[in-house]
Structure 1
Amino acid sequence: MKKINVGIIGTGFIGAAHIEAIRRLGFVDVIALAENNQQLAEQKAKELNIPLAYDCVDKLLANPDIQVVHNCTPNHLHFAINKKVILAGKHVFSEKPLCLTSQEADELTSLAEQQGVTTAVGFVYRNFAMVQQAADMVRDQQIGRVFAVNGHYLQDWMLLETDYNWRVDPKVGGKSRTVADIGSHWCDTVQFVTGKKIKEVFADMSIVYSTRKASKQVESFVTVNADSSYELKPVETEDYASVLVRFEDGSKGSFTVSQVSAGHKNDLTFDISGSEKSLHWEQETPQYLKIGYRQQANQILCDDPSLVNPAVRAYNHFPGGHIEGWPDAFKNMMLAFYAFIAEGKDPQQDTAKFAMFKDGAQIVHIVDTIIESAQQGKWISVK
């Protein structure tokens, strides 16, 4: 198989995760990266063992050997860079959010269709084996009619008043933080599992700190020295939100998102209530899917490839008991994306196993609707 050559734009936490997952595939090479200055680009290229380093996006896109570009930059840069990559005729994998507004999302989706490029958005949680198992059980009607979906996504990395980074600034992170950053993952995951789109929302949002003490260190997921000097920064984006949802078939649901819940590191959960069984999954113990029954003992299914549904086995790469977690789900996502490209599939005709720009755009619409609902205090339909 001829190798696919890739360029990475942005090499922070998530960019490095992309590179690590890509390299596990075996048939994809990361040959270039771009940063916002040449010194940083060369430093990162040396650290990550990448041959070519560019100080701007345009130089990377001008390289004819690059077929795919990964956009791993901060949120406010996503739209402009995604648009440039599409217009350059290269396939593009964008970190979420796809962009910051519904209008931008629709433009990118339309442009990608016109150019015929394959697109993807980094909604990783649908790529866990036991999330795939839940989705396959729902599709196969093994749990009966789904009538309710509930869950949460809780973190604590913004709990302290001294916690601050670029995501808090709406000019960089966008007008929503917690809902857009982690609520988007919950929405994509449950829509994938149920096969149903969210059509109406009723939301309530809150800001825990009206100002935060910001130090010069603003990188995500980095502990800040308590003795540092601070600058007070106003906070306009939510720390916490509760959302009621209605799906397209009339079924109901709710979810809570928080970045200020002590002890919750990356706590995404969902409960799917069916007329015959229920399904419960937790990201922090991803190898297990709890199957609930009314008239018999509940079951805990582990991600043993010999026990899961046949359609799910490709998402397990090791025998049962060998824990496969977030990096492995990330690899599954990259494998689905690059196999689609390698097999020459048509993004307009063929079904993708990963989230495409059209899926990312729909999530942007949901986030915008949640913001509007919280502002107006009423049910709002997703446009």
Structure 2
Amino acid sequence: MRLLVLGTGMMAKSQVAGFLAIDGVEVVGAVDTDRTRLDEFADHFNIEKRFGTLDEAIAWGRFDAATNVTPDRVHHATSLALIAAGKHVFCEKPLAENYAHALEMTEAAEVAGVINMVNLTYRNVAPLQRAREMVLSGELGTIKHVEASYLQSWLVSRAWGDWRTESRWLWRLSTGHGSNGVLGDVGIHILDFAAYGAATDIDHVFARLKTFNKAPGGQIGEYMLDANDSFTMSVDFANGALGVIHATRWATGHLNELKLRIYGEKGSLEVIHRPNGSDLRGCFGEDIESATWRDIDVLPVLTNYQRFAEAVRTGKQDDPTFRHAANLQKVIDLAIVSEKERREFNLLAADTPESTVGGQEPESKGDEQGPALALVV
């Protein structure tokens, strides 16, 4: 596979390192509007062909696939251009800023017949893959309850860098710079972590979002710090289970931790992923009576990079697809509507794109039982 890298920032370095470790993958070109950053990146990875625009790279054309590591708001236009050129696309998450754009990208890729995948990186967590296998095999019985959390501390710690002075963090706090906050940034990860691990789709969601004051006047330089810092969701899953999903950047003491607990009638599982490793524990059989949890061994799994390269080689689509990521974006879009309206919405799946992102309010009905937001993915 001859690979083009679109965008040469921090995540691109991680991606290229992963791709170059795969036999048969050659990084043949890089694109960035910042020439200094582009040259530093290309020099580091010995990439000869360098382009200031995607149009130049497409005109050159001597690549099979591209990894799109541009800022979130650029994913839509650039991915559509690559698809129109017949190139396979590996896109960073989130797929787009809203469901309408994500769906357009999905349908374009499917019509063109190109391989399309989204880098939901926590699919690389072997304990998550094993947990899903155990759920699907029936080892937990019927799933009743799911808990999932994504905890970061970079608003209270400088371990990641100083968000007060560094643009690479400040933009994530500003809706005017294309951010949907923690919900849009890591929400897609924990939604996928929960639904994929529990082997079911999210069916209904009600969300609360919170933005905390972080600077005088809520602004630092050109950055208005108005994006959400924390969210909580109560969800129903398609298999009938009830769930709670939450994430925050104010989790003091947690650099980057994802946790998933799946409770079934025959047993339970817990997946924990931290920067220093991942674990899977379970409680089954006689251990249920004493609430004893035991470690479960897992085997290594293929990375998203490996599976994308193999999909391009064979022409056989693999997960996570653009369509899956678009469905997750639908949940995120509706969560924002849920917080804004604080009332019940009856939304048919076919009406979701226009009603939530097209400037029209979805049809709503009052309900004395309290607020909820219906969604089918």
Tell me the distance in 2 between the aligned counterparts of 1:250 and 1:287. 28
**Alpha-carbon contact 1:167-1:177 (below 8 Å) kept:** yes
SS at match of 2:320: coil
- Residues 80 and 156 of structure 1: CA distance in aligned 2, closer, same or farther (over 3 Å): same
Aligned positions of 1:40-189 closer than 5 A: 40-159=37-156, 162=164, 164-174=169-179, 176-189=180-193
Aligned positions of 1:301-316 closer than 5 A: 301-303=296-298, 305=299, 315=301
Q: Which of 198, 201, 217 is matched with 2:202 structurally? A: 198
Could you say which residue in structure 2 is the equivalent of 1:295?
289
**Alpha-carbon contact 1:67-1:90 (below 8 Å) kept:** yes
Could you say which residue in structure 1 is the equivalent of 2:341?
376
SS at match of 2:296: strand
Tell me the distance in 2 between the aligned counterparts of 1:379 and 1:214. 30
Tell me the distance in 2 between the aligned counterparts of 1:5 and 1:212. 49
Could you say which residue in structure 2 is the equivalent of 1:267?
257
- Give the TM-score normalised by the residue count of structure 1: 0.83
TM superposition shift of 1:63? 2.7
SS at match of 1:283: strand
Tell me the distance in 2 between the aligned counterparts of 1:93 and 1:267. 25
Tell me the distance in 2 between the aligned counterparts of 1:343 and 1:113. 16
CA deviations on 1:176-234 (whole Å, 9 max, x unpaired) are 2101111110111221122211111111111111647999xxxxxxxxxxxxxx63743
TM superposition shift of 1:274? 0.8
Q: Which runs of 4+ in 1 moved over 6 A?
A: 212-215
TM superposition shift of 1:290? 0.7
TM superposition shift of 1:342? 1.0
Identity of aligned residues (%): 24
Could you say which residue in structure 2 is the equivalent of 1:280?
270
| Matched letter for residue 289 of structure 1 | L
Tell me the distance in 1 between the aligned counterparts of 2:216 and 2:8. 26
TM superposition shift of 1:152? 0.7
Could you say which residue in structure 1 is the equivalent of 2:352?
none
**Alpha-carbon contact 1:213-1:231 (below 8 Å) kept:** no
**Alpha-carbon contact 1:213-1:233 (below 8 Å) kept:** no
Tell me the distance in 1 between the aligned counterparts of 2:215 and 2:36. 34
Aligned positions of 1:213-228 closer than 5 A: none
**Alpha-carbon contact 1:128-1:286 (below 8 Å) kept:** no
SS at match of 2:289: coil
- Residues 244 and 212 of structure 1: CA distance in aligned 2, closer, same or farther (over 3 Å): farther
- Residues 233 and 124 of structure 1: CA distance in aligned 2, closer, same or farther (over 3 Å): closer
1:344 is the counterpart of 2:315: yes
- Residues 208 and 356 of structure 1: CA distance in aligned 2, closer, same or farther (over 3 Å): same
SS at match of 2:309: helix
Could you say which residue in structure 1 is the equivalent of 2:221?
231
Tell me the distance in 2 between the aligned counterparts of 1:172 and 1:57. 21
**Alpha-carbon contact 1:34-1:60 (below 8 Å) kept:** yes
Q: Which of 25, 28, 38 is matched with 2:25 structurally? A: 28
Unaligned runs of 5+ in 1: 216-229, 306-312, 316-330
CA deviations on 1:226-283 (whole Å, 9 max, x unpaired) are xxxx637432210011110111132110011001221211111010001111110111
**Alpha-carbon contact 1:213-1:232 (below 8 Å) kept:** no
Instruction: Name the count of aligned residue pairs.
Output: 335
| Matched letter for residue 342 of structure 1 | R
TM superposition shift of 1:42? 2.4
Tell me the distance in 2 between the aligned counterparts of 1:92 and 1:23. 17
| Matched letter for residue 7 of structure 2 | G
- Give the TM-score normalised by the residue count of structure 2: 0.84
TM superposition shift of 1:39? 4.1
- Residues 146 and 108 of structure 1: CA distance in aligned 2, closer, same or farther (over 3 Å): same
CA deviations on 1:3-26 (whole Å, 9 max, x unpaired) are x10000111111111100001112
TM superposition shift of 1:44? 2.1
TM superposition shift of 1:94? 0.6
Tell me the distance in 2 between the aligned counterparts of 1:115 and 1:171. 33
Tell me the distance in 1 between the aligned counterparts of 2:334 and 2:97. 13
**Alpha-carbon contact 2:4-2:30 (below 8 Å) kept:** yes
Tell me the distance in 1 between the aligned counterparts of 2:40 and 2:147. 45
| Matched letter for residue 110 of structure 1 | E
